[in-house]
Structure 1
């Protein structure tokens, strides 16, 4: 049998086999290691991906606009001091103090109030929210008072708290605690109600008790909403801090801002706002990190 190789490189023609054509031999493809596909890479999940670069650009644009407006004297320094003036005041308050206290003393006083109230709210609001989600009796007991006072601004019931508990430190912490309690309890209840009924039935079918279902299925499934409620609650707590430090306070970031506003010291006001926002942002970043570590299944199931 005679063979004739095609010079065109398109294959090999074998005479005697009715002109059968065979493809040219292919080299074995190199095996390349591919990384696992991330969620959203295949179909493009809306909102997926990092926004760090966009956030940094936004901050740079805002700070640059602040520099531009103040350097061009488009706004009087009384209403918007320059970043240099705010930084100079920051150094001055940190070293010499303002209203008989240094910046560190003001900061420590506010942090103790906010995080003390936040810790107390976590200890009480999360269990109550879980009970509201798993028990109709608990929901009937706690839901009416929480839903009643939740829309009220803290300044509305601040006078009543002062009448009941005086003007001491407890009234300030209690006011912040009430502001954090409601959103945290509602978030915990919503997290419990969002648990899939199939997961609960699967746990019962495997012999789990009611307590085990609550602790190992319901509570863990509600963690994403609980973390969201914690982030919202601490934000509400920082906003309530200013109202809490309005009455008979001698130190604190909110007290410093209010005291500076009475003397039209806008540089101190802006500096205090930046410090409050900095600590609030740090706590939010910490909560995001803890949520990522403790709830790795969020958005994947």
Structure 2
């Protein structure tokens, strides 16, 4: 990795501490080379700005006021909230190192925050299209397993990791429930729909053909061992392509679709929060935006006073 120095526009008094920081990340923290380079690039950019804009001669000279000016400069340069947050994280960690080495008296980044990033709305699948995909008939035991997995993802709103970690003992077929271990090792019990239970019964009849002896995993690979997250993602994409999905299928699409469709039908945000295992209801509220978008689209298409005026072939208005 190239060392920061005069060729990067940094004077030795700035470049030497940065070199020490990169060595610290590489040797003591065992960070990968590309991670070290990312830190180096972000701090170099900050250092060059500090020299050119603030006539900086030492890292210790920079204050919270300078950092806020730098955030504004990054924003003017077109960087989004996530990118700015990454820059600040790198600089914050660099100053922690400088404090450790007694090259700074405080960390000027502590009280500086990046602008809030615009929250992307998750994509969801249409109810009718999902029904068509889940009604497809499996051709072999592996596809029967796949269909069972996808039914569970959509029926119960599972995360990918929650699905792959399911054991035979996680399912209560009589009670129609599945027990999952979510984020933060929090356990929750979720209802399983009738169609998912039917797919589960078919898979459990076929599972002994694949599973190795004493394998606890509910879903196993061709080799008889627990199916990996990557394999589940790959099989879902394959299922979508084979059955004519008009968008790329992935586990979170089914989870998002579960949440959106549940909220659209029930309007019960707290219940959907519990089903998804969200610690904060603000995370669940993203689906209210999706629901509003759907309602707004229906309104625009249906309400006579909301329809756009369209021109007739003769140029008059309809």
TM-score range, shorter-chain basis?
A: under 0.3
More helix by share: 1
Which structure exhibits the higher relative contact order, with contacts defined as CA atoms closer than 8 Å and separated by 6 or more residues?
1
Structure with the greater alpha carbon radius of gyration: 1
The alignment's TM-score, normalised by the length of structure 1, stands at 0.22
